Amino acid sequence: EVILDVVYNHTAESGQYGPTLSLKGIDNQRSYRLAPDARRYADFTGCGNTLDTTQPHVLRLITDSLRHWVTEMGVDGFRFDLAAALARSAHGVDMRSPFLAALAQDPVLREVKLIAEPWDIGSGGYQVGAFPPPWAEWNDRYRDAVRDFWRHALPDVREMGYRLSGSSDLYAWGGRGPCASVNFVTAHDGFTLRDLVSYDRKHNEANGEGNRDGTDDNRSWNCGTEGESDDEGIRALRRRQLRNLLATLLLSTGVPMLVAGDELGRTQRGNNNAYCQDN
């Protein structure tokens, strides 16, 4: 199967001072979510703007694109970046929003796999466990619990029990089973698995932003020294931690997601925001 990662929540035109490349120059007012001062954008994505999926022409642009990928290119489903931003209506994230309703009613799109990154950066944007069937979701509660458990920082072991067994506390209420939980320890954002056991803090100096970019909430443990080490004891401990994390992921109930390269120990040398690096 091919699951396509798609980003329909914003365009590359940034904020009010960004370039005019597409929708900003066609119909700015009806294409984007605007702040009360309509010269500015409501930014729920961290990218300067947010598309307004309550507008019919925006919604049609997205659904036409999705149908093209299914009917012409043969993909089997989609993972939606910042899906909570797509599900926003006038008063916040709405699980009966035009976007979610359109996908549920479409004869093509309702038959494919739908995976949400169930949050955005706006108020009320964290929606893990809230998406309706048949949506699956990235489960960051799983990520955090597994990271904390293996660095001996999990305050309540019952949390680990829920995550290992399919996160019924998050998904059972809506009639969804364990397959609604996309389990992961690392993703394309953040540390690689090797860096997770090699660094206590981010090292993003190469990005040119004074190490200010990227999250500081890494829940990582360097096993005794920061970064690469020639100490065989530390290297052996890191290899064991990698095996612990991989085994936990692959043996947990749910759908495991493994970043390509993590099984080989790929490193970004502590950079947890390496979108601008060739790694």
- What pLDDT, in 10s, does the model give residues 125-158? 999 999 999 999 999 999 999 999 999 999 999 9
pLDDT score, position 174: 87
Active site (catalytic) residues: 81, 117
Least confident of 107-111, 163-167, 240-244, 275-279: 275-279
pLDDT > 70? residue 205: yes
What pLDDT, on the 0 to 100 scale, is given for residue 85?
Answer: 99
Neighbour count for residue 3 (Cβ, 10 Å):
17
Domain ranges of the chain: 1-138, 140-278
pTM of the model: 0.94
Read off the pLDDT of residues 155-196 as tens digits, 9 standing for 90 and up. 999 999 999 999 999 999 989 999 999 999 999 999 999 999
pLDDT band at 278 (very low <50, low <70, confident <90, very high): confident
pLDDT digits (tens, 9 = 90+) for 220-269: 999 999 999 999 999 999 999 999 999 999 999 999 999 999 999 999 99
**Alpha helices per DSSP H over the chain:** 23-31, 56-71, 83-86, 98-105, 140-150, 157-164, 168-171, 193-196, 232-251
Q: Would you state the pLDDT for residue 279?
A: 60
Q: In what order do the strands lie in the sheet with 181-184?
A: 3-6, 77-80, 113-116, 136-139, 181-184, 255-257
Helix (H) or strand (E) holding 5: strand 3-6
Alpha-carbon gap, residue 32 to 237, rounded angstroms: 50
Mean pLDDT across the chain, nearest whole number? 97
Neighbouring CB atoms inside 10 A of 100's CB total 21
Rounded Cα–Cα distance for residues 170 and 124 (Å): 17
